[in-house]
Amino acid sequence: MTTPNLGLETVPANSLQPSVPINDALQVIDALLQLAVEDKDLSAPPATVPGDVGKRWIVGAAPTGAWGGKAGQIALCTGAGLWRFIPARAGFRAFVIDEGIDYRFSAGAWAPI
């Protein structure tokens, strides 16, 4: 079973490893609260190092490599060269650091507000 808004896995009754869905959910919540992304125009994933864990990007319009097929999604760095993708939903807001501009996701696209 998942939560209705973010699709987070819930902990099954009598779960032997409740930390797995809880830790996974916390990672998504941490990524989306006070959402600030490094950039929103990159199509190829940037080179990352362990110090980049937790940084986020909005995947550009023509993604390649590990970002292929993830246009418009939020890419969360989970390790050097490792990614988790979070689909944007209507109403999501993000501050784009390299532009200094706030964006909102609506009608399938990110637009400045």
Structural domain boundaries, residue 77: 34-112
Burial code of 73-84, b = ≥16 C-beta within 10 A, e = fewer? bbbbbeeeeebb
Question: In 10 A of CB 67, how many CB atoms?
Answer: 21
* pLDDT digit string, tens, across residues 47-83: 999 899 999 999 999 999 999 999 999 999 999 999 9
Residue 108 has pLDDT above 80, yes or no: yes
Distance of CA 84 to the CA centre of its chain: 7
- 63 and 16 in a single domain? The answer is no
Q: Do 75 and 91 contact (CB within 8 A), yes or no?
A: no
Residue 10: per-residue pLDDT: 80
Q: Do 85 and 70 contact (CB within 8 A), yes or no?
A: yes
- 84 and 39 in a single domain? The answer is yes
Q: What does pLDDT average to over the chain?
A: 90
- 47 and 10 in a single domain? The answer is no
Average pLDDT estimate for 35-49: 96
Residue 26: per-residue pLDDT: 81
- 8 and 58 in a single domain? The answer is no
- 40 and 67 in a single domain? The answer is yes
Q: Do 72 and 109 contact (CB within 8 A), yes or no?
A: yes
Average pLDDT estimate for 11-32: 78
